Every structure is written in C-alpha cells, then in structure tokens.
Amino acid sequence: MKRFLCLDIGDKRIGIAVSDPFCTYALPVKTLYRKNLKTDLEAVKKLCSDHGATDIVCGLPVNFDGSESVQTEKARFFINKLEEATGKKIYAVDERCSTTSAEEQLIRQGFSREERKGLIDAQAATEILNAFINDLNKTSKKESKMSEKKKHLHDEECDCGCHHDHEHEEGCDCGCEDDIVELTTDDGKKLKFYFVGTIEYKGKNYSAFEPAEEIEGIEEDDLIIFELSGDDEESADLLPIEDDKLLDEVFEEFCKALDEDEEEGE
C-alpha cells in the first residue's frame, strides 16, 4: 500500500502533509522552516522515514493562467534535488488556489488570524494531497470498473465451450476469435488486440481495443481507444486521442455502453 508525503514548497517554509494508511485522505503534519538545501533535504528524508512514505507529492506553483513563473523554477530545482536525495517517485502537481482553500478551511475551523499563520502551510499541503488522492482514487475506480466489464465481455463462454480469455484449441471453428484484430504500428510491427467495440460521441466515432497478447509498454487490462477517421470501420484510419479530457469522456461513454450491454443481457 502506498503512502504519500506532500510538500507545499515556499521560499521560507515547507508545509508538510501525509496520507492516511489506506490512502483515502490527507492529514497535516507540520511546517518545516527552511535553513539550507542540505538541511531541508535531510529533514524531508527523515519525515518520509518517520511516516513510512513510499512516494512524495509536491505542489508546483504556477500562475493563475497555468503558465510557469520564477517560483515554478525554484520548486522544480528543489524537487529534482529531493528526487536525487530520496530515490523516491515524486509527483509534481498544480497547486493553484491551495493556499486560498487552506485559509478558508482554517477559518471554518475557527482559528484566529494569528493562529492561521502557523498552520496555513501544512493545511495547504493537506489541500494539495487531498486533491491528488481524490484524482488517484477516481482513476483507480474507473480502471477497476472497466477491467471488470472487459472481463465480463471476454470471459463469456462460447457455444463450443471455449473462453475468450484462454487460448483456443487448435481447429476451433466457433468464430470466437473473430474479435481479435491485428493493428500495425508506425514501424510496421503487427500486434494483436481484442476489438471491444465502436461508439459515437459528439459526432465522431471511436473504437476501443485491448491487448490479445503480451505487448511491451501496455498492461493486459489497458483499454486502447482511437478516433476513426471516417464512417466506414473497415477502411477508416485509427487516430490517437491527444486531448486527455476528451479521452476521459470517451472512456466514460464506453463504460456506459458496456453497462447497457450487461443490462440487456440480464
């Protein structure tokens, strides 16, 4: 089980928060007052050890429009040094509005202005980590949901007694391998995938595939989604979806489509 230590990095102070043992929420730890690079790094290393942190999350300060600033460069420098010093995986995440959210949270809890000064940095780290954990758990649940649906899709028994997630006996003519297609990579390599299906979303068609063989760099339960360049599935080119937001939306549509298929089959 992963446990995250989170840093809200400032020029004079570093707010520290840690995830609970089940990685469901964040807890404020302390405010680290900076001295010099070596001392700061050693202090963070000790905190990782004390709290059993496996990974580190660092807030990355950016401008409100998302562009980088001098503070962004300073934070990146510290993050790079921290990665070298700890050897741990570090996630740099957008920290916009975290201080404002922290201030509001402390006000709701009834802390005075003077009390908030000593708590604001650790609370900001808590806000950053809570957002990170929520996104992480949301992604995990989404992947788990799709994995179960794909298992249902490929684990159904054919009339011949074969199962889609097992190797078929030689000579099987039930047609249950019709869902396996070969896709050719840019370097000419042919890879086998299960064809999951095609849906229409916002006027465009998208097809989904999952690996039917071991493929380097792709997990066996990954869903690979492409945009179709035309209306004809047989002749259309498969285009990668580069917009992460659009990819998430199409993924959700496939979840809904598989839900409907299951309901119709009951």
Domain boundaries, the chain: 4-139, 175-265
pLDDT tens-digit map of 78-122: 999 999 999 999 999 888 766 667 777 778 778 777 777 778 889
Q: What is the mean pLDDT of residues 2-16?
A: 93
Pair type for strands 26-33 and 13-19: antiparallel
Q: What is the pLDDT of residue 91?
A: 93
| C-alpha–C-alpha distance, residues 23 and 133, integer Å | 7
Of 92, 74, 94, give the one whose Cα is nearest residue 83: 92
Q: What is the pLDDT of residue 160?
A: 41
Reported confidence tier of residue 40, pLDDT bands at 50, 70, 90: very high
The CATH architecture to which 4-139 belongs is 2-Layer Sandwich (3.30)
Q: What is the pLDDT of residue 172?
A: 46
pTM of the model: 0.52
The first and second tokens of residue 125, run together, are 């780290």
Reported confidence tier of residue 169, pLDDT bands at 50, 70, 90: very low
Q: What is the pLDDT of residue 43?
A: 96
- CB burial of 90-121 (b: ≥16 within 10 Å; e: otherwise) equals eebbebbebbebbbebbeeeebeeeebeebbb
Query: Is residue 42's pLDDT more than 70?
Result: yes
> DSSP state, 53?
-
